[in-house]
Amino acid sequence: MKDLIIIGASGFGREVAWLVERINAQEPTWKLLGFIDDNQSIQGKHINGYAVLGTTSAIADYPDAYLVCAVGAAKVRKSIIERIKENYNVKFATLIDPSVERSDCLNIGAGSIICAHSILTVNIEIGNHVIINLDCTVGHDAKLKDYVTVYPSVNVSGNVLIGECVELGTGTQIIQGKEIGSETIVGAGAVVVKDLPAKCTAVGSPARPIKFFDGEEKE
């Protein structure tokens, strides 16, 4: 079994620990050492039976361990991983729940997490450190770039391109052939029927940008 540490001990981190338990129940694969978290208030504690091993500086104490980052916010996750890679020589685990249905015709990058009961069809490209949460579907020829976060029950149709650090809120639906620009946040329950630009928040059915990150408001 390979040593594994989860970065982030909040709600999704605990869910990822459960995902690891589910993998090990089918085939012993990972020895989960515990969590790394910069929250000072939880240092030295145990969470769902797993130790908080320290802040990110403690990574140096576990040179042979694989890491996976269980922080849902895409840009925060990217910042954490880039800082770790700059300071430590690390390996990242890719975790796929045993219940996930997927073809052999897809690529999933390092550090990505695919949660229970999701379905990934054919010729899909999933980047590094992508999170696909519970009960999602991803259709043929879709491309999800690095650090994308897909929250539960999202449906991504075929030939969709999702840019780096995009967040797709719970229950989002994206019709075929659409593109979502990098760092855009799509609100829960939105229906994407047109391309969405980068660096905006989009909501509604049909989804439309309501705010750009430079502060510009759209009516």
Which of 15, 31, 40 is CA-nearest to residue 117?
Answer: 15
Half-sphere exposure of 43 (CA within 13 A, CB side): 9
- Domain assignments of the chain as residue spans, ordered by start: 2-93, 97-206
Which of 141, 206, 216, 219 is CA-nearest to residue 174?
Answer: 206
Rg (CA), the chain: 17
User: Structure tokens of 13?
Assistant: 């981190």
For the domain spanning 2-93, the CATH number is 3.40.50.20
| pTM for the whole structure | 0.95
pLDDT one digit per residue (tens) for the chain, 219 residues: 999 999 999 999 999 999 999 999 999 999 999 999 999 999 999 999 999 999 999 999 999 999 999 999 999 999 999 999 999 999 999 999 999 999 999 999 999 999 999 999 999 999 999 999 999 999 999 999 999 999 999 999 999 999 999 999 999 999 999 999 999 999 999 999 999 999 999 999 999 999 998 744 443
User: Structure tokens of 37?
Assistant: 């978290």
Cβ-in-10-Å burial (0-12, 13-18, 19+) of 104 comes to exposed
CA dist 53 and 37 (Å) reads: 8
Which of 42, 61, 48, 43 is CA-nearest to residue 21?
Answer: 48
CA dist 133 and 177 (Å) reads: 22
Architecture of domain 97-206: 3 Solenoid (2.160)
